[in-house]
Amino acid sequence: MPADPIPGTPRWFDVTAPDIPAAAEFYTALFGWTATDLGPEAGHYTLLCQDGAQVAGIVSAESPDGSVKPALWLPYFTVADTQATVAAAVAAGGQVFVPPTDVSGRLEFAILTDPDGAPYGVARPFTDPGTERWAQVNNPMWVQYAAARTPADAMAHYAAVLGLTYGNAAWETATENPYQALSAPGAGEFGGAHRAAPGEPAPFWSLVVRVAGADAVAERAVELGGTIIEEPHDNPGPSRLAVLADPAGAAFAIMDVG
């Protein structure tokens, strides 16, 4: 993404994990990231970096009330006003899961759910740079939404709340439930929405990590205790894509471009 924050674009990613050290071991071994535990005062939130550049974070699945959140990857989208965005989300049929929260003066975030129940985050940056190497190898390059209904209908919520735009992807030929490419004013395409296949969990957001060699990375993920949800296959682009899950079950995709 551009260096300057553009409202509506993805800027950060957290993976929820029941065992933070185990998740850190998996992702550092898979992508060559480093992991830094920010300590008990931060709930052992763990920062994932590539050569010192921020990539993503690991957050505990255990809630203060003792309940356990599902293992998943959560994207955060840039906003200019967190409070106003939360109000817009509620007006557009969403719900508030975590109200606006300040993080040491670096950013203000909130976690919401869309009308279909998919969680997503929003963040107003102050000094925090977010994900610093967007679309570079072993970094996030795309966000993906699995819709439980027509993708265009599901994306209407995000257009109203985040100001992002959506439309049939340039390569899409289907006339029923066409794949939606996502962008924002001043930014190129950064994600997409597809109709979930029968048996595919939906609705939910996930991320796509750019890799060099999707087949080898998928094989390595299995060696590290992960699973392959969707075997490596060729996609338009040209690109090669696989959908994986970490040992706790958090799904994500990898893509080798060109």
pLDDT tens-digit series, residues 198-228: 888 899 999 999 999 999 999 999 999 999 9
Q: What is the mean pLDDT of residues 142-169?
A: 96
Kindly indicate the confidence band of residue 1, based on its pLDDT and cuts at 50, 70 and 90: low
Question: What pLDDT was estimated at residue 101?
Answer: 97
In the chain, the percentage of residues whose pLDDT exceeds 90 is 87
Q: Are 55 and 49 in contact (CB under 8 A)?
A: yes
Q: Tell me the average pLDDT of the chain.
A: 95
Q: What is the mean pLDDT of residues 17-27?
A: 98
Q: Is the pLDDT of residue 254 over 60?
A: yes
CA distance 196 to 142: 17
Question: What pLDDT was estimated at residue 2?
Answer: 47
Q: Are 183 and 189 in contact (CB under 8 A)?
A: yes
Q: Which of 70, 93, 125 is the last residue of a domain?
A: 125
- Total structural domains in the chain? 2
Q: What is the mean pLDDT of residues 224-250?
A: 94
Q: Residue 246: give its domain's CATH number.
A: 3.10.180.10
Pair (144, 217) in one structural domain: yes
Question: What pLDDT was estimated at residue 3?
Answer: 56
SS3 of 227, please?
strand
Q: Which structural domain, as residue segments, surrounds residue 91? A: 10-125
Pair (91, 178) in one structural domain: no
Residue 2 lies in a domain: no
Pair (150, 117) in one structural domain: no
SS3 of 76, please?
strand
Pair (148, 248) in one structural domain: yes
CA distance 27 to 246: 8
Which residues lie below 8 Å from residue 52, measured CB to CB, with a gap of 6+? none
Q: Which of 68, 99, 125 is the last residue of a domain?
A: 125
